[in-house]
Amino acid sequence: MTTFELARRLEGTGVTINCIHPGAVKTSLGSDNSHHVALKLIDKCIKFFFITPKQAAKNIIDLAISPEWENMTGQYVVKGKSVKSNSVTDDRMLAKKVWEISERLVG
């Protein structure tokens, strides 16, 4: 939501703002919290299907440097394609309120 709000605020400046979901990434994040053998096994099994951090980084780097995305802004990108994000992200009034609250909180 804030990515789309920032894209709107920077419209016409030449700065592009997009958000990307790199995919399910095989990291140790959350893995150390599994103290039960079954949970550890499940963690290992599902991560078999995840992409590597290197693959995830490639998706992000491609978005950042690809000429195809040079003038695209305010997009939600999954697997190199612009897709529709959750409908709540379309609520411009809510996005503006979240932005204003964030500004107050960070000073």
Q: Measured between alpha carbons, how far is residue 86 from residues 27, 28, 39, 91 in Å?
A: 25, 27, 30, 10
Q: How confident is the model at residue 31 (pLDDT cuts 50, 70, 90)?
A: low
Q: Is residue 17 part of a domain?
A: yes
**Cβ(81)–Cβ(38) under 8 Å?**
no
Confidence of residue 18 (pLDDT cuts 50, 70, 90): very high
Domain assignment present for residue 15? The answer is: yes
Question: pLDDT > 70: what percent of the chain?
Answer: 87
Its domain, for residue 49, covers: 2-101
Residues 53 and 26 sit within 8 Å (Cβ to Cβ): yes
Q: Is residue 59 part of a domain?
A: yes
The single-letter code of the amino acid at 53 is P
- Backbone φ, ψ for residue 7 (5° rounding): -60, -40
Q: Dmax over Cα atoms in the chain, in whole Å?
A: 54
Query: Could you tell me where the beta strands, DSSP code E, fall in the chain?
Result: 18-21, 75-78, 81-83
Residue (of 65, 78, 93) closest to 24 by Cα position: 78
Domain assignment present for 73: yes
In a domain, 106, yes or no: no
Model-wide pTM > 0.95: no
- 19: in domain: yes
| Domain tally, the chain | 1
Q: Look at 8-22, 34-48, 87-101 and tell me which has the smallest mean pLDDT.
A: 34-48
Residue 85: inside a domain: yes
For residue 107, is it within any domain? no
